[in-house]
Amino acid sequence: MKYKLETIPVWDALKEDSECLLCFLEEKIEDYYLNYYLGSSVMNPETRVKVNQQGFCSDHFRGLLGKNKAHALGLMTHTHLQETLKKLTPLLKDLNKQGTKSSQKGGSTKNLEKTTAKLKESLFSRTDQCLVCQGIERTMRRYAFTIAYLWKDDEEFREAFRKSRGICLDHLPLQLDLGAEILKPRELGDISQVLAELTQQSLERLEGEILWYTQKFDAQNAQKDWGTSKDAHRRCIQKLIGPIKKA
Ligand SMILES: [Zn+2]
Ligand SMILES: [Zn+2]
């Protein structure tokens, strides 16, 4: 078995009856990683080397900032900045040099363009390397694996999953991939069929809920009951894009 089973959190998430059990798990795991990088791991040399090299994307640096752990965040940010400075200094020097050359009369921008491309590549790669994003991705694969495994192994889970609101559009590809990775053709066929039905039903139900949500703003409907639509906008957005309680 390639992945570790996580049956307890997956069952707990299913019982939450949300628009997507994987969203529920992702919000929790994101919080776990943010706390992890601000906890005692700050003093762990191996983790520090990784943080110095890779850092975090903008969402997760904001998330770390929101945790109000000033000292730990300061230490980590300092050494990460030192590493960033080391990486960028030659590229910035080059940009400066090529900029100066191009600014001279008759100067070409050919080398300047090359240097700019290199600098951009280095700047963009910072976001792809975010340690929290990578941790979330690893763990979410384990959860999606567990869902597929329970689907295959546990009749009670299959029943409960069939009655759930399914999975959001953001997590659906992950779940289909993990199903394809471990299930036999017949099992994969079953779960795919159920995922298709749950998704179709959810989108149609949400369309009705969000419609009533918008109509509730008409004066003539002000006194009428919200029904289930009071938070329809939030649930609708979650179904479309995944977890909305980002960092
Ligand atoms: Zn989701
Ligand atoms: Zn990130």
Averaged over 83-105, what is the pLDDT?
95
Distance CA 56, CA 63 (A): 10
The pLDDT assigned to 43 comes to 81
Q: Tens digit of pLDDT for each residue in 114-140?
A: 999 999 999 998 888 999 999 999 999
Distance CA 205, CA 143 (A): 26
The string of DSSP codes covering 103-138 is: HSTT--SHHHHHHHHHHHHHHHHHHHT-HHHHHHHH
- The verdict on residue 71 lying in a domain is yes
- The verdict on residue 225 lying in a domain is no
Take residue 193 and report the two structure tokens written for it.
Answer: 């069929």
For 214, left (φ over 0), alpha (ψ -120 to 50), or beta? alpha
Domain carrying residue 68: 31-102+110-133
The alpha carbon of 174 and the centre of ligand 2 are apart by a number of angstroms equal to: 18
- Give 155: exposed, middle or buried? Use CB within 10 Å, 0-12, 13-18, 19+: exposed
Minimum-distance ligand to the CA of 130?
A: 2
Q: Which residue, 22, 21, 27, 19, is CA-closest to 240?
A: 19
Query: What is the number of domains present in the chain?
Result: 1
The full length of the chain comes to 247
Mean pLDDT taken over the chain: 94
The string of DSSP codes covering 24-48 is: HHHHHHHHHHHHHHHTGGGG-HHHH
The pLDDT assigned to 154 comes to 96
- The verdict on residue 244 lying in a domain is no
- The verdict on residue 173 lying in a domain is no
The alpha carbon of 158 and the centre of ligand 2 are apart by a number of angstroms equal to: 33
Distance CA 158, CA 153 (A): 9
The alpha carbon of 181 and the centre of ligand 2 are apart by a number of angstroms equal to: 26
Give residues whose Cβ lies within 5 Å of ion ligand 2: 57, 60, 130, 132-133
Distance CA 245, CA 172 (A): 18
Take residue 85 and report the two structure tokens written for it.
Answer: 């400075």
Backbone angles phi, psi at 17, to 5 degrees: 55, 50
The alpha carbon of 68 and the centre of ligand 1 are apart by a number of angstroms equal to: 27
Name the pLDDT band for 233 (thresholds 50, 70, 90): very high
Higher pLDDT, 40 or 146: 146
The alpha carbon of 53 and the centre of ligand 2 are apart by a number of angstroms equal to: 14
| Residue whose entry in the numeric block shows the structure tokens 């776990």 | 32
The pLDDT assigned to 167 comes to 97
- The verdict on residue 53 lying in a domain is yes
Name the pLDDT band for 107 (thresholds 50, 70, 90): confident
Name the pLDDT band for 3 (thresholds 50, 70, 90): confident
- The verdict on residue 234 lying in a domain is no
The alpha carbon of 217 and the centre of ligand 2 are apart by a number of angstroms equal to: 37
What is the distance, to the nearest Å, from the Cα of residue 225 to the centroid of all Cα atoms in its chain?
35
The pLDDT assigned to 71 comes to 94
Distance CA 106, CA 19 (A): 61
Integer-rounded Cα Rg, in Å, for the chain is 24
The alpha carbon of 21 and the centre of ligand 1 are apart by a number of angstroms equal to: 6
- Assess whether pLDDT exceeds 80 at residue 104: yes
- The verdict on residue 196 lying in a domain is no
The pLDDT assigned to 1 comes to 55
The alpha carbon of 180 and the centre of ligand 1 are apart by a number of angstroms equal to: 18
The pLDDT assigned to 246 comes to 57
Percent of the chain with pLDDT over 90: 90
- The verdict on residue 156 lying in a domain is no
The alpha carbon of 191 and the centre of ligand 1 are apart by a number of angstroms equal to: 16
Helices (H), 57-184: 58-66, 70-103, 110-128, 131-153, 155-162, 172-182
- Assess whether pLDDT exceeds 80 at residue 2: no
The alpha carbon of 125 and the centre of ligand 2 are apart by a number of angstroms equal to: 12
The alpha carbon of 25 and the centre of ligand 1 are apart by a number of angstroms equal to: 9
Averaged over 78-98, what is the pLDDT?
96
Averaged over 4-27, what is the pLDDT?
96
What pTM, to 2 d.p., does this model score?
0.89
Q: Tens digit of pLDDT for each residue in 159-204?
A: 999 999 999 999 999 999 999 999 999 999 999 999 999 999 999 9
